[in-house]
Amino acid sequence: EAAVTQSPRSKVAVTGGKVTLSCHQTNNHDYMYWYRQDTGHGLRLIHYSYVADSTEKGDIPDGYKASRPSQENFSLILELASLSQTAVYFCASSDALGAQDTQYFGPGTRLLVL
């Protein structure tokens, strides 16, 4: 089974500060994803990547950057954190973006922006 880890597991940040969320997977998956989860919304895709050194915008990329320095690592960067970015963030990985691939999720990072 896929092993996806995230750090930190929770974080309190100040408005306007920089926040970096990290994700690491050990299953040799090509695809990695960042989602956010808010009350009243399903998980929404922020950024994804299908190869190292390349990232793609998801459905809600504004206010976020992503970095994929290696196949195993994928970071989400909030350059200027805002109150509206308080949410739980999930990282996922998958072998491919084909019709039958499965995304495996990390445990999530709970971010509170004050």
Partner 1 sequence: QQKVQQSPESLTVSEGAMASLNCTFSDGTSNNFRWYRQHSAKGLEVLVSIFSDGEKEEGRFTAHLNRANLHVSLHIREPQPSDSAVYLCAVRANSAGNKLTFGIGTRVLVRP
Choosing from 22, 50, 72, 108, the residue that interacts with partner 1 (CB under 8 A) is 108
Choosing from 87, 103, 111, 113, the residue that interacts with partner 1 (CB under 8 A) is 103
Are 42 and 31 in contact by the 8 Å Cβ rule? The answer is: no
Answer yes or no whether residue 54 interacts with partner 1 by CB under 8 A.
no
Single out the segment in contact with partner 1 by CB under 8 A; choices: 21-29, 66-74, 79-87, 104-112: 104-112
Provide the mask over 55-94, with x wherever binding to partner 1 is found by CB under 8 A and - wherever it is not.
---xx------------------------------x-x--
CA distance 33 to 104: 10
What is the DSSP-derived secondary structure letter of residue 86?
A: -
DSSP for 29-46, written as a single string: -SEEEEEEE-TTS--EEE
